[in-house]
Amino acid sequence: MKNSKFIKLLTLLPVHKIEGFGHYLQHFYLNEEISLSVMKHLSDTTVQFSNLEGLHFPEDILQKLYTQAPDSKSRLKQLQNTFSDLHRWLKEYIMLERIRKNDWVNDMVWLQVLNENSWGEQYEKKANAFFESTQKAPPKNTQNLLKYWAAAYFQYNQLVKSNFMASLKSFDASYHALNQIGKLVRVKMENERKSFLKIAPPQESPFQQPEDLKLLTLYESLLKLSTTEQEDDFNILEENLLNFEKHIELDEMHNVLRFLKNYAIGQVRKDNNMKYYQRKIHNLNKIGVQNGVFRESASITPTEFLGILNVACALEDFDWAKDFIRDLTTKIREADREITSQIAQIQLAISIKLYPQALDLINAMGLEGASHENQLFVRLTKIRCMYELGYEHEFLDEYIQKYKIHLTLRKSTPKNKSNEGALNAIKIIKMLIDRKKDKKYIEQQIESKSDLHMRSWLREKVADYKKR
C-alpha cells in the first residue's frame, strides 16, 4: 500500500487540498460507497498523510468493505483497484482545480472543446482573442512558452479550418509566432547540449537516431510538391500516403488528401491530361472514404461532398456514386443535408442522362435558403434538361431570358466568376437554340471563355450543331 501511486500523490498535498478532494468525491462520486469508505478510513488513521508507517487496513475492515471477496488476497487486490480509482479521481480533481483558475490553461482546454465539437464561430473568436493576448506581451522567459505556442497553434488551426487565404495576414502572424517559439526552444536546447557535452563522460554510448516520424515525412513530401508542382513529387507523396496510412490519424490523412487533390484539380483546370488527373482525384476520394475520414457528423462540407460526386460522375463510376450518396449524406451538417442530397440526386440523374427524372427532381425542390452556387447549378441544369428533352424554342428561350434578367438585374446576385460563368453558358445555349451563328464561332466562344459553366456538355452539343 505504501507504494501505491494514490498514497504517494496524497502525501504531496496540503491538508486543505485533501479535504477538498474528500468533498469532491462526495459531490461527484456519491454512489462509490467503497471508495468513500476507504478515503474516510485513510483520513481517520493518518495525520496529513505524512506518516505512512501507521497506514494499515485491518482485516475486519477489509471484510466489511469487500463482502464478495473469498479470501484475504482477493480483498487486497480489490483494495488496490479502489486505490487505482481514487488515484484517477484525485488527478482529475487536481487538474480541475488548476483549470478553474482564470488563466491560459482554461483557454487552451476550452479551445480544444470548441474544436472537437466543431463549434466554428465560437472557436474562431476565442482563438483570435487568445492569440492577440499573447502578442501584446511577448515571452520574457522560456518557462511559459507552451502558452505562446498553444495560442499560435490554435490561431493557425482555426484559420486553416476557415480557409486562411481569406486572411493571409493573420495566417502569417501565427506562422511567424510558431517559427519564433520553435527556434527559441531549439537554440536554448542546443546551448544546454553544448554545455553538457563539455562534461559528458567520453565513454558514454552515442544516441541512436530514431526513425523519422511518418507524419513529418508526409508533410515534407507535401512541402516539396507545393514548391515544385512536379508530377514526380505528386507520385512520391501519393505513395507515402498509402504506405503510412496506418501510422497517421484520419484527420491528418484528410488534410494530406486535400492538398493532393488540390494539386490534381489545378492540373485539370489547366487541361493538363484531364482524364488522368480526374482518375487520380477519384482514387484519392476512394481512399478517403474507404479509410473513414468522414466518420463523424458534419465531417464533410456540401462543397466537398458534391465535388467528390462530380468527379465520380465524370468518370461514369455510377455504382460507386450511388453508394457514396447513400452512405455519406448523413455526414453532412444537418442544416445543409437536405439541399445537398437533392442536388446530388440531380447531378447523378443528369450524368446518367435521365433527363426526365432530373427535371422532376428540380421541379419538386424549393430553392428558398439555397446558396447562390446551388441556385446556379439547379437553374442551369434545368435549362440543360429542357434542351436535351427538345422543349420548344419559344418556351426554352423565355425561361433563358428570365434567368438572364435574374442574373444581371437582381441586386442580391453577387458579381463573381461563378455568376459570369453562368451568364456565358446561357449566351452559348442561346446561340445553340437560335442556330444563327456558325459552328466555328460557337466553338471559339466555348474555348475562349475563362469562366464557363458546363463547358464539357457545351462541347458535346456544338459537335452536332448545324446552322439553320
DSSP per-residue string spanning 167-229:
GHHHHHHHHHHHHHHHHHHHHHHHHHHHHHHHHS-TTSPPPPPPPPPHHHHHHHHHHHHHHH-
Domain extents for the chain? 5-100, 117-195, 367-468
> For residue 50, what pLDDT is reported?
57
Under 8 Å between Cβ of 435 and 387 = no
Closest CA to 155 of 118, 193, 129: 129
Pull the grid cell for residue 188.
Answer: 536554448
> For residue 72, what pLDDT is reported?
86
Write phi, then psi, for 405 (nearest 5 degrees). Answer: -65, -40
> For residue 297, what pLDDT is reported?
74
Taking the chain (468 residues) in runs of 10, the rounded mean pLDDT of each run is 78 84 90 89 66 67 86 89 92 86 81 81 88 85 85 86 68 88 90 82 65 84 89 90 85 88 86 85 93 83 92 95 95 90 95 95 84 86 92 85 73 68 90 90 92 91 82
CB atoms within 10 A of CB 280: 22
Under 8 Å between Cβ of 240 and 256 = no
Q: Which residue's entry shows cell 505504501?
A: 2
> For residue 4, what pLDDT is reported?
82
- The CB-based long-range contact list for 254-261 (8 Å cut-off, 24+ gap) reads 254/288, 254/293, 256/218, 256/219, 256/222, 257/284, 257/285, 257/287, 257/288, 257/293, 259/222, 259/225, 259/226, 260/225, 260/234, 260/284, 261/285
